[in-house]
Amino acid sequence: MIERTLVLIKPDGVERALIGQIITRFENAGLKIVGMKMKWVDKEFSRKHYAAHVDKPFYKSLEAFIISGPVVAMVLEGIDAVEIVRKMVGPTEPKAAQPGTIRGDYAHHSYGYADKKGIAIKNLIHATGTKEEAKQEIALWFSKEELHSYATVHEKHTL
Ligand code: ATP
Ligand code: MG
């Protein structure tokens, strides 16, 4: 089914000037960008976005990471987009991520190093985990007016 999913290029990806290369990966796979913005997240917004992680031991470092600089948020549309995007992004730990995934190709941070330093694991991307989360996360980051249908954005230019 055609789905929408939320992707963030986290502060490490923006800082390292990887925005274009990361977006290109998703576009090359045929996923369509139907909404996009740059935003500097604050603590309150971080607690909303990472509501599921607020009570976890790594939350403080995760919050420090996500508010450390602007992020690029986008909504991608495509067939089974939630699953496809997670596959392209790869597992949470870049050290374990296979080459060919975004985390595996552009990062190498490890849990061991992050724990020792007391910092969040720097893994470039947030990608929604499930279809249910996609609805909530997209509603948190984008208003209806900020999202454009696939047909509006793309088909009129290619037909
Ligand atoms: P995301 O939700 O950002 O797409 P994910 O679903 O792969 O990543 P989650 O388990 O949801 O991973 O964790 C959210 C984020 O918190 C991770 O992407 C990572 O930046 C950070 N994180 C998770 N576990 C740890 C940990 N044990 N130590 C340090 N940072 C962590
Ligand atoms: Mg997650």
What CATH number is attached to the domain comprising 108? 3.30.70.141
Select which of 108, 126, 154, 157 is catalytic: 126
| Mean of pLDDT values over 128-155 | 90
pTM of the entire structure? 0.95
The whole-angstrom separation of Cα 127 and Cα 73 is 10
Query: What integer pLDDT is reported at residue 29 of this predicted model?
Result: 97
Q: How far is CA 19 from the centre of its chain?
A: 11
The whole-angstrom separation of Cα 35 and Cα 59 is 27
Residue 22 reports pLDDT greater than 60: yes
Number of domains into which the chain is organized: 1
Rounded to 10 degrees, the C-alpha dihedral 151/132/102/64 comes to 120
Question: pLDDT > 70: what percent of the chain?
Answer: 94
Report whether residue 69 contacts ligand 1, using a CB cutoff of 6 Å.
Answer: no
Taking CA atoms, 113 is separated from 12, 93, 99, in Å, by 16, 11, 20
Residue 41 reports pLDDT greater than 80: yes
Q: Please report which ligand is nearest the Cα atom of 58.
A: 1
**CA-closest residue to ligand 1 atom 5:** 92
Q: Please report which ligand is nearest the Cα atom of 66.
A: 1
Helices (H), 29-128: 43-49, 59-66, 81-89, 102-106, 111-117
Query: What integer pLDDT is reported at residue 1 of this predicted model?
Result: 87
Report whether residue 97 contacts ligand 1, using a CB cutoff of 6 Å.
Answer: no
Q: How far is CA 114 from the centre of its chain?
A: 19
Please give the residue range of the domain that contains residue 7. Answer: 2-158
Residue 154 reports pLDDT greater than 80: no
